[in-house]
Amino acid sequence: MDRAFFQELLQKHRDRVFSHARYVLHNREDAEDVAQEVFVKLWEHGREVDPGKTEAWIMRVTHNACIDCCRRRSRNRKGEDRLRFDSPEAGLNCDDPAVLYELNETQRALLSAMDALPASVRSLILMHYFRDMPMEQIGETVGMTPNAVKVAVHRGRKLLRKALLARGKAVQERKVP
């Protein structure tokens, strides 16, 4: 791959790749590793990618790398990253106090509920709602039909709703003496 073209792609997509990985993984170091892995693959396989579909290819590789990272975590930690609803920061795994302070209760609840989703579904929801990607582009990115993406996003919303309701009940039970 041409070095200048690679640099252009890196500048254009690095923030998107990192932020997507950060949202999915909730861990800065893992997100950095995923971003590096994505751009190494782009360097190695960039000539094979259709120039008109570069963004979709990059997001597909990011999506798959995030899922692989979650699988490695679950094998290595054996349940250590399980979601807990007993603290406001449950599931955030964020060590930056400034970030936690800025998040309001609704945002914390939503991010905690997002942890209840499988990484693949969480990634689809992030692409659709946080990145405003159309279903067709998401499908192209992850190798699914647009209808399959719609179904997965719909099911993900149901799981989010269920997790938010469970969190709301847990909070109410703690407040009632």
Q: How far apart are CA 25 and CA 128, in angstroms?
A: 17
Q: How far apart are CA 82 and CA 25, in angstroms?
A: 13
The arithmetic mean of pLDDT across residues 34-62, rounded, is 89
* DSSP one-letter code for 68: H
Please answer whether residues 88 and 101 qualify as being in contact, where contact means their C-beta atoms are separated by less than 8 angstroms: no
Averaged over 122-135, what is the pLDDT?
A: 85
For 160, residues 6+ apart whose C-beta sits below 8 A from its C-beta are: 110, 113, 114, 116, 117, 125
The predicted structure's pLDDT at residue 86: 32
Q: What pLDDT does 99 receive?
A: 58
pLDDT, tens digit, 9 for 90 and up, residues 77-120: 544 443 333 333 334 455 566 555 555 666 777 777 887 788 88
> Is pLDDT larger for residue 119 or for residue 44?
44
Mean pLDDT of the chain: 78
pTM comes to: 0.55
Provide mean pLDDT across the span 1-22: 88
d(CA 91, CA 80) in angstroms, rounded, equals 11
What's the pLDDT score for residue 171?
55
Going by pLDDT thresholds of 50, 70 and 90, the confidence category of residue 23 is: confident
Residue 36 pLDDT class (50, 70, 90 cuts) = very high
The percentage of residues in the chain with a pLDDT greater than 70, rounded to a whole number, is 77
pLDDT score at 65: 92
Residue 122: pLDDT over 80: yes
